[in-house]
Structure 1
């Protein structure tokens, strides 16, 4: 399946954001499927990635950015912090030339398209993590699941996982369960 990567990222980030807006005051310390992360830490992680995106897509290195996005990025208004960072990230990934440029990550240079695809995949998987943590509907957009699974299978050959014998699910649920399993989630 071919999908517009910036659009997919925007849609995944929108879905995550919709859940951020549903977090009840007492849920910020709720554990998530991500080991050692509660809801606040998970949202902080996504906000951090969203803040890094404009910097890296503009050609800055992680060394140049330094520790600007370390620590608590949510402050007293986590929802506003998410919304502001998401808008900036989507603007950065949809900017002319963002996908064609080179992103300088600590482990090496990667094409902008690959970096944005990784952002998309991370936002999609963390949408499920957040939904699970706050007790929301865990179904992910099937088109995004398919696109993410295709990218991940190409990037990590042999990582696809089949549904357990005797397990009966709809094809969309199977695809989501396989994707989540390939990312270490027990759906």
Structure 2
């Protein structure tokens, strides 16, 4: 994948920001398709992961950044996410970052591959959050198609036995599934309504 993922990441970030803005206080303790995350924990992971990719884009060690945000008040998730996504835009502004080798949790990779992987992660967590919130907004299908292509490239086998992987083995997508549902299924997720 030799594309510039920055515009796709920016669109993904806009979509996440809109979705985070819909979260009501009573939803924060609710379940998500990520069995180990409630909505609050998922928001913490989204913000923390966004900070991590900002550090990676700036040439830092992403592994030194905890992929969770601590100390964010329940009414400040939108502000926390907006701050983190601004950091990402600034860190990846230089075109040279796309070809520079960066260190990510899965090893070293050119910046464009690393950022494409984070588009996949962010789009996946967008679906997780949307499903947990009862799907309050329409989601951009082009972003899910890109994320699914990345997921199939980096995780080509449907069966995943590696406990280090943050994704389970693929599950069947429902008949007539949209791109987000196919992405979620490829990454082993089941909507709350079907869990």
**Alpha-carbon distance in structure 1 between the residues aligned to 2:132 and 2:7:** 26
In the alignment, which residue of structure 2 is the partner of 1:36?
Answer: 36
Counterpart secondary structure, 1:98: helix
1 or 2, which has the higher helix percentage?
1
Within 5 A, what are the aligned runs for 1:7-26? 7-26=7-26
Cα displacement (A) at 1:83: 1.0
Cα displacement (A) at 1:9: 1.1
Cα displacement (A) at 1:124: 0.4
Q: TM-score, normalization: structure 1?
A: 0.82
**Alpha-carbon distance in structure 2 between the residues aligned to 1:161 and 1:90:** 34
> What root-mean-square deviation, in Å, do the aligned CA atoms of Structure 1 and Structure 2 show?
2.6
Query: Which ranges of 4 or more aligned residues in structure 1 deviate by more than 6 Å?
Result: none
Greater Cα shift, 99-108 or 1-10: 1-10
**Alpha-carbon distance in structure 1 between the residues aligned to 2:143 and 2:25:** 29
- Structure 1: gaps (5+ residues): none
**Alpha-carbon distance in structure 2 between the residues aligned to 1:80 and 1:115:** 25
Q: TM-score, normalization: structure 2?
A: 0.79
- CA offset digits 1:133-178 (Å, max 9, x no partner): 11124753221122122222222224387656xx3x2xxx443322
Structure-2 change in CA distance of 1:108 and 1:163 (3 Å): closer
Greater Cα shift, 152-161 or 90-99: 152-161
Answer with 1 or 2: which has the greater Rg.
1
Cα displacement (A) at 1:105: 3.0
In the alignment, which residue of structure 1 is the partner of 2:153?
Answer: 154
How many residues align structurally?
179
1:181 aligns to 2:185 (yes or no) = yes
Cα displacement (A) at 1:117: 0.7
2:72 maps to which of 68, 71, 74: 74
Contact 1:128–1:139 (8 Å) recurs in 2: no
In the alignment, which residue of structure 1 is the partner of 2:131?
Answer: 132
Counterpart secondary structure, 1:35: coil
